[in-house]
Structure 1
């Protein structure tokens, strides 16, 4: 799941990137509204976390411009503006959710999980497909009820496939969800992750669609 963080407070942005990546998110960061609008045209993320107090334009204006281009892209507002009127203005402008600063990281993660469920084919934190179960709240994976040790990239890859069960995800789509800007990606990295997952979860769980990408069967 690729998140675009739009936040001009660098220490806060760095802390959020670290915390989100530990939870299996691929996070890219920009500091201005103009940069955000450029990204959504060239490389749309899955979810945007948008600060309202940006240096070049008001965050609500950015949100309105996002909605002009992408009406269904989930946007979570992060802001120090915590009055009821500010919250209503943000939601009326097209935000999917609103979180006032300061906030607890656990609450932000919970709200992101809600937005993720709207994007995928599953409606709960536990995804069960055949003998494989994935708990997005605790980042645990089980095969035949036995816990499996997965690397962060393996977990992110499996989560993307299971949340989109039945859909073929292309190589480029999966790499975008696994890697942030600037991360070095080996040419066969995706295939290596797939190979490791098949060893842990059974060789038939992840299907290869030749020339297109990968998928798992729907539950």
Structure 2
């Protein structure tokens, strides 16, 4: 059974989340503060983390940063009441793959959890060549030589769209609506963070570039 570690200091909300996820056959361990969450993470090694940003004793950003020192791949979703763009950017820099702004629907949380765990879709494995890389959108991996890098769900989805439209301009608003569901300002900042992460991973091949096309979007240059 998939194990989820939930860290949320609002007791009523934590109970709703826990009960809702358990009806979907998830096993949920709920913690009320960041220190407890970090202890439980090392004790149980769950499959996914749902972290509130504002928590007593240790905030969610600090918890994520500590976990990322030893675990680069476990999916992390932040819950936040904050609405400042920098808070969203800080969350992704701390190691999150996704975030939800309160209030949110339980179905939205469940869909995002399923996406990060790779439960959505059932395509066959397909490897695509990109310069010196091999990209597998189903397994969400990017291989360069013998080095295989794990991608997050959104990194993989974003790279797949860039490759599909390689050497052409990929419309920014269209990408945001397709992957993030809305082309608002906060999602736009989130996408910029993911573009930066992809550029870093692709930097091993100097012939591969992701260019900003001002006012329009991005262009993946291959060769």
1:17 and 2:18 correspond: yes
TM-score normalised by structure 1 residue count: 0.53
Q: Do 2:22 and 2:28's aligned partners in 1 also have CA atoms closer than 8 Å?
A: yes
Q: How large is the Cα RMSD of the aligned pairs?
A: 1.7
Distance 1:123 1:11, change over 3 A: closer
DSSP 3-state at the match of 1:49: strand
Q: Do 2:76 and 2:98's aligned partners in 1 also have CA atoms closer than 8 Å?
A: yes
1:93 corresponding residue in structure 2: 94
1:153-168 paired onto structure 2 within 5 Å: none
1:113 corresponding residue in structure 2: 114
Q: Structure 2 unaligned runs (5+)?
A: 125-223
Q: Do 2:3 and 2:47's aligned partners in 1 also have CA atoms closer than 8 Å?
A: yes
Distance 1:66 1:105, change over 3 A: same
1:63 and 2:30 correspond: no
Bigger mean CA deviation after superposition, 58-67 or 2-11 = 58-67
2:47 & 2:21 partners in 1: Cα distance? 14
Could you report, residue by residue, the CA deviation over 1:107-126 in whole angstroms, capped at 9, with x for unpaired residues? 11110011110xxxx661x5
1:63 & 1:28 partners in 2: Cα distance? 17
1:45 & 1:91 partners in 2: Cα distance? 20
1:80 corresponding residue in structure 2: 81
Q: Structure 1 unaligned runs (5+)?
A: 129-219
1:87 & 1:40 partners in 2: Cα distance? 23
TM-score normalised by structure 2 residue count: 0.52
1:4 and 2:24 correspond: no
1:27 & 1:123 partners in 2: Cα distance? 20
TM superposition shift of 1:82:
2.1
1:51 corresponding residue in structure 2: 52
Tell me the number of residue pairs that the alignment of Structure 1 and Structure 2 aligns.
123
Q: Do 2:49 and 2:76's aligned partners in 1 also have CA atoms closer than 8 Å?
A: yes
2:25 & 2:123 partners in 1: Cα distance? 16
